[in-house]
Amino acid sequence: MAKQPQSAISPTRAENFPEWYQQVVKGADLAENSDVRGCMVIKPWGYAIWENMQRRLDAMFKATGHENAYFPLFIPMSFLEKEAEHVEGFAKECAVVTHHRLEPDGKGGLQPAPSAKLEEPLIVRPTSETIIGATFARWVQSYRDLPILINQWANVVRWELRTRLFLRTTEFLWQEGHTVHATEAEARTETMRMLDVYADFAEHTMAMPVIKGEKTAGERFPGAVSTYSIEAMMQDRKALQAGTSHFLGQNFAKAQGIKYQDENGQEVHAWTTSWGVSTRLIGGLVMTHADDDGLALPPKLAPSHIVIMPIYRNDEEKSQVMPYCATLERELTSQLYAGEPVRVRIDNRDIRGGEKKWQWVKRGVPVRVEIGPRDIAGGKVSYNRRDSSGRFEAPRDLFASHISKTLEEIQHALFQRALQAREAATIRIDTLQDFEAYFASKDEERAEGGGLAYCHFVESPEMDEKLKALKVTVRCVPLNAAEEPGKCLFTGKPSQRRGVFARAY
Amino acid sequence: MAKQPQSAISPTRAENFPEWYQQVVKGADLAENSDVRGCMVIKPWGYAIWENMQRRLDAMFKATGHENAYFPLFIPMSFLEKEAEHVEGFAKECAVVTHHRLEPDGKGGLQPAPSAKLEEPLIVRPTSETIIGATFARWVQSYRDLPILINQWANVVRWELRTRLFLRTTEFLWQEGHTVHATEAEARTETMRMLDVYADFAEHTMAMPVIKGEKTAGERFPGAVSTYSIEAMMQDRKALQAGTSHFLGQNFAKAQGIKYQDENGQEVHAWTTSWGVSTRLIGGLVMTHADDDGLALPPKLAPSHIVIMPIYRNDEEKSQVMPYCATLERELTSQLYAGEPVRVRIDNRDIRGGEKKWQWVKRGVPVRVEIGPRDIAGGKVSYNRRDSSGRFEAPRDLFASHISKTLEEIQHALFQRALQAREAATIRIDTLQDFEAYFASKDEERAEGGGLAYCHFVESPEMDEKLKALKVTVRCVPLNAAEEPGKCLFTGKPSQRRGVFARAY
CA dihedral over A348, A351, A357, A363, signed as positive or negative: negative
Q: What's the alpha-carbon Rg for chain A, to the nearest Å?
A: 26
Instruction: Tell me the HSE value of B242 on the side-chain side, using a 13 A CA sphere.
Output: 34
Q: Does residue A214 have a pLDDT over 70?
A: yes
Q: Which of B34, B71, B112 sits opposite A72 (nearest CB)?
A: B34
Contact map slice: A 358-377 vs B, CB within 8 A: none
User: What is the three-class DSSP state of A490?
Assistant: coil
Q: Do residues A426 and A400 touch, judged by C-beta distance below 8 A?
A: no
CB contact under 8 A, A159 and B75: no
Q: Does residue B1 have a pLDDT over 50?
A: no
What's the pLDDT at A448?
62
Instruction: Judge: domain B301-420, CATH 3.40.50.800.
Output: yes
Q: Does residue A320 have a pLDDT over 80?
A: yes
CB contact under 8 A, A109 and B75: no
Q: What average pLDDT does chain B have?
A: 94
What's the pLDDT at B418?
98
A·B CB contacts under 8 A: 191
CA distance A338 to chain B (A): 18
Q: Does residue B472 have a pLDDT over 90?
A: yes
If you average pLDDT over residues B225-237, what whole number do you get? 97
Give one DSSP letter per residue of B155-212, joined into a string: EEE---SS-BTTTB-SEEEEEEEEEEESSHHHHHHHHHHHHHHHHHIIIIIS---EEE
What's the pLDDT at B442?
65
What's the pLDDT at A92?
73
CB contact under 8 A, A96 and B91: no
Q: Does residue A242 have a pLDDT over 70?
A: yes
Q: Which tens digits make up the pLDDT trace of A94-122?
A: 999 999 999 988 888 899 999 999 999 99
User: Which helix H or strand E contains A46, and what residues bound it?
Assistant: helix A44-63
Q: Do residues B74 and A39 touch, judged by C-beta distance below 8 A?
A: yes
pLDDT band at B106 (very low <50, low <70, confident <90, very high): confident
User: What is the three-class DSSP state of B8?
Assistant: coil
CATH of domain A425-502: 3.30.110.30
If you average pLDDT over residues A335-363, what whole number do you get? 95
Which fold does the domain A17-73+130-289 belong to in CATH? Answer: BirA Bifunctional Protein; domain 2 (3.30.930)
What's the pLDDT at B38?
93
What are the chain B neighbours of A79 within 8 Å (beta carbons)? 35
If you average pLDDT over residues B100-122, what whole number do you get? 93
Strand A306-310 and strand A336-337: the pairing is unpaired
What's the pLDDT at A108?
84
User: CA-to-CA distance for B372 and B311, rounded, in angstroms?
Assistant: 5
If you average pLDDT over residues B326-351, what whole number do you get? 96
User: CA-to-CA distance for B194 and B228, rounded, in angstroms?
Assistant: 10
What's the pLDDT at A445?
54
What's the pLDDT at B6?
79
Q: Does residue A334 have a pLDDT over 60?
A: yes
If you average pLDDT over residues A64-72, what whole number do you get? 98
Q: Which tens digits make up the pLDDT trace of A118-151?
A: 999 999 999 999 999 999 999 999 999 999 999 9
CB contact under 8 A, A98 and B98: yes
Interface test with B, best of A51, A75, A110, A158 (most B CBs within 10 A): A110
Give one DSSP letter per residue of B391-406, joined into a string: EEEEEHHHHHHTHHHH
Q: Do residues A362 and A324 touch, judged by C-beta distance below 8 A?
A: no
Q: Do residues B240 and B444 touch, judged by C-beta distance below 8 A?
A: no
* Domain formed by A299-420, architecture: 3-Layer(aba) Sandwich (3.40)
pLDDT band at B296 (very low <50, low <70, confident <90, very high): very high
If you average pLDDT over residues B423-452, what whole number do you get? 84
Q: Does residue A287 have a pLDDT over 70?
A: yes
What's the pLDDT at B474?
97
Could you tell me which residue, A300 or B444, shows the higher pLDDT?
A300
User: What is the three-class DSSP state of A236?
Assistant: coil
If you average pLDDT over residues A88-93, what whole number do you get? 74
pTM (2 d.p.): 0.96
CA distance A452 to chain B (A): 35
Q: Do residues A469 and A475 touch, judged by C-beta distance below 8 A?
A: no
pLDDT band at A36 (very low <50, low <70, confident <90, very high): very high
State the Cα angle at B295 between B291 and B296, rounded to 5°: 85
* B72 vs A: CB within 8 A: yes
If you average pLDDT over residues A79-86, what whole number do you get? 76
The residue ranges of every structural domain in chain B are: 17-74+125-289, 301-420, 425-502
User: CA-to-CA distance for A36 and B119, rounded, in angstroms?
Assistant: 12
* A148 vs B: CB within 8 A: no
If you average pLDDT over residues B243-270, what whole number do you get? 96
Q: Phi first, then psi: what are they for B144, rounded to 5°?
A: -65, -20
Q: Does residue A1 have a pLDDT over 50?
A: no
Answer yes or no: is the ipTM higher than 0.85: yes
What's the pLDDT at B2?
46
CATH of domain B17-74+125-289: 3.30.930.10
What's the pLDDT at B5?
55
Could you tell me which residue, B86 or B121, shows the higher pLDDT?
B121
If you average pLDDT over residues B91-120, what whole number do you get? 92
User: CA-to-CA distance for A190 and A480, rounded, in angstroms?
Assistant: 18
What's the pLDDT at B443?
59
